[in-house]
Chain A
Amino acid sequence: DAGVIQSPRHEVTEMGQEVTLRCKPISGHDYLFWYRQTMMRGLELLIYFNNNVPIDDSGMPEDRFSAKMPNASFSTLKIQPSEPRDSAVYFCASSLSGQDQETQYFGPGTRLLVL
């Protein structure tokens, strides 16, 4: 397996534009997580899915952020409209189970810069 795949790896956009980040989890993993990492706040969990269903989105910063998982092999994190403070590295991770973090594998991340 190629591991968790994220695209794009880098994104530069202007304030107000819509940004869509994509993730392909490891095949067979039932859980998918979206994280955001910044210097100020460290690494934060935004939302996670179990069997394609959003379980907890309490970490999503505000309504401009939305995440979907239309099938077991694909998820998106959308920011609309984007703001400069959204600049961060966004990681997607997947795991076999929720609490068992030993099986949680992170993707390489998408580095987002909003000008």
Chain B
Amino acid sequence: LAKTTQPISMDSYEGQEVNITCSHNNIATNDYITWYQQFPSQGPRFIIQGYKTKVTNEVASLFIPADRKSSTLSLPRVSLSDTAVYYCLVGDYSSASKIIFGSGTRLSIRP
């Protein structure tokens, strides 16, 4: 079971780049790394997914080192609306019991 470890909380300011790192030492070969964003009273929302190296989309970048034992979500130029909980998920949907999101990182953005 791929357990993930993230910081409980982070603070930053508008316009800054925020990097959130997730550790997953026992990631399996078939596991993908996915990051989700969740606002209060809402379901999680997909941000980005990767397997190795670097992935970039219109909202974030995901950096994965060669050993895949960690990953870093990078949010460029954050705004107040990026205040949310961010979850790192490592697993594959071939077995539902492997899918556990963990406690997430509570990101607070200040003006």
Q: List 17 A-B contacts (CB under 8 A).
A: A42-B100, A42-B101, A43-B44, A43-B101, A45-B97, A58-B95, A98-B93, A99-B32, A99-B93, A100-B49, A105-B43, A105-B46, A106-B44, A108-B41, A108-B42, A109-B42, A109-B43
A23-63 interface code vs B (CB 8 A; 1 in, 0 out): 00000000000000100011111111000000011110000
Nearest neighbor of A101 in chain B, beta-carbon distance: B34
**Contact surface of A with B, Cβ cutoff 8 Å:** 4, 37, 41-48, 56-59, 91, 93, 98-109
- Report Cα–Cα, A42/B97, bound state, in Å: 13
* Pairwise interchain contact B49-A102, C-beta atoms closer than 8 A: yes
Query: In the complex, which residues of chain B have a beta carbon less than 8 angstroms from the beta carbon of A102?
Result: 46, 49
* Pairwise interchain contact A57-B46, C-beta atoms closer than 8 A: no
- The number of residues on chain B lying at the interface, defined by a beta carbon within 8 Å of a beta carbon of chain A, is 23
**Contact surface of B with A, Cβ cutoff 8 Å:** 32, 34, 41-46, 49, 87, 89, 92-97, 99-104
- Report Cα–Cα, A42/B44, bound state, in Å: 12
* Pairwise interchain contact B43-A47, C-beta atoms closer than 8 A: no
- Decide yes or no: A42 and B104 within 8 Å by CB, A101-B32, A102-B46, A104-B46 being known contacts: yes
- Report Cα–Cα, A109/B42, bound state, in Å: 7
Nearest neighbor of B92 in chain A, beta-carbon distance: A99
Nearest neighbor of A39 in chain B, beta-carbon distance: B103
| Residue from the set A45, A99, A101, A105 with the largest chain B CB neighbour count within 10 Å | A101
